[in-house]
Chain A
Amino acid sequence: MSHGLGHKGHLLRVAGLYAAGAAAFFVLKAFFVPAGFGAYGHYRAGAIDDSRTRPIAFAGRAACVECHSDVPQAAKGGPHQAIRCEACHGPLAGHAADPTEKNAVRPDPKVLCARCHAANVARPARFPQVDVAEHSGGESCTTCHAAHNPKEPPAAAPPQGQRGGTK
């Protein structure tokens, strides 16, 4: 066919085909590589925003104290003063955003307190821990210990699952 090319014509056709393939690949690349890829490194820049997009479950102590300012007062000077509220009360961002609609549930002391204070050989020796059954005789821990300051006896009339906030 192309004798002018000295019988290499078929090789040129192959080369042409491959060049077309390579060109198609670059076109594909332009279309399909997501926007922002490579802006900060070898990844999609939007992935950073994606990672920041997530609802918050734990509000943080500052949010709780806004309404429940009596608690830090009660805990002051006691061994629990530095513990953050949701460590025991669970995630409460929903409650913080809408206290009337999303009520917090008071944890059961018998379950909650044992989580940290049940005697366990692997716990640091100086950490306060007891054989729970022996120590409590089956009573709830808050019978003798105020939850927020366990060195104190419990308040006279502990609120029974009602609104504890001041707002």
Chain B
Amino acid sequence: MIEGYVYPNEVELQWSILIVLYPYITGLVAGAFILASLERVFRVESVKPTYRLALLTALAFLLVAPLPLQLHLGHPERSLEMYLTPHTASAMAMFGFVYLWYLMAVLVLEIWLDYRKDIVRLAQTAAGPIRHVYRLMTLGSYDVSAAALRVDDRAGYVITLVGIPSAFLLHGYVGFIFGSVKANPWWSTPLMPIVFLFSAIVSGIATVMLLYMAVTRLRGRPIDMRCVDTIARYLFYAFIIDFSLEMLDLIHRIYEADESFHTLDFMVRTRLYFPHIVVQIVTGTLVPLVLLALTQLVKLAEGARRGTYATAGVLTLIGIFAMRWNVVIGGQLFSKSFLGYTTYKMQFATREGLLPAIALMILPFVILWVLVKLLPPWVDETAAERQAT
């Protein structure tokens, strides 16, 4: 269990799997949003079929993001203190406001503006009690004239424009929460926010890609290959940058070999070997990179491409989860004395155990299902198709 010498107060880990989940979830949010913004701001037409789905995915995950934190806190009933008396020197405190800004001033607003025409229509035509929900969402305004919709479009554009640096801030900040801790050499590096951000982009893009393929299949519709090909290409580019950054960090550490190096090196070779080398680097990064490179270099048939994308996507998500695990858990496995190691004893059905973690990973999909029912991303298509038949 304990190897070598750890300070007496370091025997038990402070941050559990829930704290691994948290950057994973906020990462998916940032990545999904950036994919959505590709269409809105950078006019990448081909990814339009995923635009609304990406936004709803981002919202579903963002709503779940605070939950692992609440479960982890010793006193969740005091969590409002972060908003009432935020310590401006603390990255964690300031993150509360970044989160609030991103949720309310970017994501919710952008979704509302993009869906407003449908919300107004549904407020007038929907059957049953759900109609009241739509009426509430209209905020009392039923103006969907061409002029008003132009206003919406313009406003949405501005919000997305502001939203891109906000998404960068959202997840870069989480990286800074770790990267600014000088006491922990595994975390303390200026590269941390950037590495976090690019792995967020990678995981977010992979999620939306997989969700789009799965949901389209479930709806019995044909998958827009031009769209998926484009997304996969962006995934590939983002992954190359992400991998380069992580390799840069690794090479730098090995080359400089400062006082913490031998303890970190030993940890990666032993306790962290499986999650770091096998899962994160080989299975979760190298294999997807090779698969995606294959699709860029060789002309594969549609079915083969879909299968390759799906495989690469799943492996990517596993790999990015492993990356969060290796940062959070890895950073606590070694002692700050640099002379010893402890173990993470993850429990199953306790407040911070595996079971709540699994539940929290399933919850965003449940919320997404509700959101898709409430605000269907493809309502125009189905209505048009209904008219055609």
Chain A residues close to B by CB (< 8 Å): 1, 6-11, 13-14, 17-18, 21, 25, 28-29, 32-33, 37-38, 42
> Quick check: is B132 within 8 A (CB to CB) of the other chain?
no
Indicate which residue in A1, A25, A33 contacts B141 across the interface (CB closer than 8 Å): A1
Are the CB atoms of B112 and A29 closer together than 8 Å? Answer: no
Are the CB atoms of A11 and B142 closer together than 8 Å? Answer: no
> Quick check: is B223 within 8 A (CB to CB) of the other chain?
no
Compute the total of residue contacts between A and B using a CB distance below 8 Å.
47
Given A21-B104, A25-B83; 17 other pairs, CB 8 A cutoff: A1-B142, A7-B143, A7-B150, A7-B151, A8-B148, A8-B151, A9-B141, A9-B143, A10-B138, A10-B139, A11-B151, A13-B140, A28-B80, A33-B84, A33-B85, A42-B85, A42-B87
A29 nearest CB neighbor, chain B only: B84
Indicate which residue in A6, A8, A13, A37 contacts B139 across the interface (CB closer than 8 Å): A13
Measured between alpha carbons, how far is A18 from B105 in the docked complex, in Å? 9
Measured between alpha carbons, how far is A11 from B147 in the docked complex, in Å? 13
Measured between alpha carbons, how far is A9 from B155 in the docked complex, in Å? 13
Query: Which B residues are CB-close (under 8 A) to A14?
Result: 109, 112, 139
| Per-position binary interface string of chain B over residues 102-116, scored 1 when its CB falls under 8 Å from any chain A CB and 0 otherwise | 001100010010001
> Quick check: is B9 within 8 A (CB to CB) of the other chain?
no
Measured between alpha carbons, how far is A8 from B140 in the docked complex, in Å? 13
A25 nearest CB neighbor, chain B only: B83
Query: Which A residues are CB-close (under 8 A) to B87?
Result: 42
Query: Which B residues are CB-close (under 8 A) to A1?
Result: 140-143
Query: Which A residues are CB-close (under 8 A) to B143?
Result: 1, 7, 9-10
Are the CB atoms of B148 and A10 closer together than 8 Å? Answer: yes
Are the CB atoms of B85 and A17 closer together than 8 Å? Answer: no
> Quick check: is B145 within 8 A (CB to CB) of the other chain?
yes
Are the CB atoms of A7 and B147 closer together than 8 Å? Answer: yes
Query: Which A residues are CB-close (under 8 A) to B112?
Result: 14
Are the CB atoms of A6 and B147 closer together than 8 Å? Answer: yes
Most buried by B among A9, A21, A28, A33: A9
Query: Which A residues are CB-close (under 8 A) to B84?
Result: 28-29, 32-33
B93 nearest CB neighbor, chain A only: A42
Are the CB atoms of A7 and B140 closer together than 8 Å? Answer: no
Query: Which B residues are CB-close (under 8 A) to A32?
Result: 80, 84
Query: Which B residues are CB-close (under 8 A) to A29?
Result: 84
Measured between alpha carbons, how far is A6 from B147 in the docked complex, in Å? 8
Measured between alpha carbons, how far is A8 from B147 in the docked complex, in Å? 9
Are the CB atoms of A18 and B145 closer together than 8 Å? Answer: no
Q: Known A1-B141, A17-B139; judge A11-B83 contact (CB<8 A).
A: no
| Per-position binary interface string of chain B over residues 98-131, scored 1 when its CB falls under 8 Å from any chain A CB and 0 otherwise | 0000001100010010001000000000000000
Are the CB atoms of A18 and B104 closer together than 8 Å? Answer: yes
Query: Which A residues are CB-close (under 8 A) to B150?
Result: 7
Measured between alpha carbons, how far is A147 from B147 in the docked complex, in Å? 97
Measured between alpha carbons, how far is A10 from B138 in the docked complex, in Å? 8
Tell me, rounded to whole Å, the shortest Cβ–Cβ distance linking B85 to chain A. 6
B108 nearest CB neighbor, chain A only: A14
B139 nearest CB neighbor, chain A only: A13
Interface residues of B in 130-170 (CB under 8 A from A): 138-143, 145, 147-148, 150-152, 155
Tell me, rounded to whole Å, the shortest Cβ–Cβ distance linking A87 to chain B. 22
Q: Known A1-B142, A1-B143, A18-B104; judge A11-B155 contact (CB<8 A).
A: yes
A30 nearest CB neighbor, chain B only: B84
Query: Which A residues are CB-close (under 8 A) to B140?
Result: 1, 13
B145 nearest CB neighbor, chain A only: A7
Indicate which residue in B85, B142, B147, B155 contacts A37 across the interface (CB closer than 8 Å): B85
Measured between alpha carbons, how far is A28 from B80 in the docked complex, in Å? 10
Query: Which B residues are CB-close (under 8 A) to A13?
Result: 139-141
Tell me, rounded to whole Å, the shortest Cβ–Cβ distance linking B12 to chain A. 25
Measured between alpha carbons, how far is A9 from B87 in the docked complex, in Å? 37
Query: Which A residues are CB-close (under 8 A) to B155?
Result: 11
Measured between alpha carbons, how far is A38 from B85 in the docked complex, in Å? 9
Tell me, rounded to whole Å, the shortest Cβ–Cβ distance linking A18 to chain B. 7
Query: Which B residues are CB-close (under 8 A) to A37?
Result: 85
Query: Which A residues are CB-close (under 8 A) to B145?
Result: 7
